[in-house]
Amino acid sequence: MKRRLVLLGPPGSGKGTQGELLSADLGIPTVSTGALFRDQMARGTALGVEAQTYIAQGHLVPDRVTNAMVQSRLGSADAVQGFILDGYPRNVPQVGVLEEILATQGLAIEGAVSLELPEDLIVGRLLKRASIEGRADDTEPVIRERLAVYHRETEPIIDVYRSRGLLLPVDGLGTVSEVADRIRRVLEIVA
Ligand code: AMP
């Protein structure tokens, strides 16, 4: 069973929701860099204060900050048996850093589940989420910027994982449970 996983997909593709379901299935934690940053911001830590300006504009938090946070989180006891990364890596350099972090323990990513969703649905889904969750970075101009950053910085990592034979594409259209079932099938949790 694959237990060191990356979840890929544009903002609003359901990575967070699917990550939580998969976490319950596999008994391993999700590691969401967005959630870790939001927690740091809510607690007003130095890291949170630094991240805030980037997040509010829809830009990526600098790699130096993000990579150190991920390295520390993956070193926690509960991540030893596996983890589901949601929102990391988000650019090609982060793919390499993640590889190095794991390689020091003789480990590697075993699969990259990529949620695929038509572009025109994404903005609507994010605006709907904004009205439910009230996330400060879910306003329309910031959503547009996050999508531009996604295309420019994050989308290229799909090809990187594909070329390594790790990419597991999943149709992200449908209900939460339909998509969850597709993920279980590509990961061979169910037949
Ligand atoms: P998310 O909840 O995954 O949409 O992340 C919210 C925001 O956190 C993003 O728009 C970025 O500003 C920041 N962020 C999350 N993950 C990363 C990452 N891997 N690298 C840089 N910034 C990130």
Closest protein CA for atom 9 of ligand 1: 55
CB-based contact 22:5 (threshold 8 Å) = yes
pLDDT digits 0-9 by tens, 68-97: 999 999 999 999 999 999 999 999 999 999
- Which pLDDT belongs to residue 14? 92
> Does 162 participate in catalysis according to the annotation?
no
- Which pLDDT belongs to residue 191? 78
Closest protein CA for atom 2 of ligand 1: 34
CB-based contact 19:123 (threshold 8 Å) = no
- Which pLDDT belongs to residue 92? 98
Burial class from Cβ neighbours inside 10 Å (0-12, 13-18, 19+) for residue 112 reads buried
Atom of ligand 1 nearest to the CA of 90: 19
Closest to 70 measured CA to CA, from 16, 30, 110: 30
- Which pLDDT belongs to residue 124? 86
Which residue out of 3, 125, 129, 184 is catalytically annotated? Answer: 129
pLDDT digits 0-9 by tens, 19-54: 999 999 999 999 999 999 999 999 999 999 999 999
pLDDT digits 0-9 by tens, 92-142: 999 999 999 999 999 999 999 999 998 888 888 888 888 888 788 888 889
Domain 3-186 has CATH 3.40.50.10610: no
Distance 191 CA to ligand 1 centre (A): 33
Distance 109 CA to ligand 1 centre (A): 20
> Does 129 participate in catalysis according to the annotation?
yes
CB-based contact 84:23 (threshold 8 Å) = yes
Which residue out of 4, 38, 73, 90 is catalytically annotated? Answer: 90
- Which pLDDT belongs to residue 41? 97
> Does 2 participate in catalysis according to the annotation?
no
- Which pLDDT belongs to residue 132? 86
DSSP 8-state code for residue 113:
E
Question: Could you state, in order of their start, the residue ranges of all structural domains in the chain?
Answer: 3-186
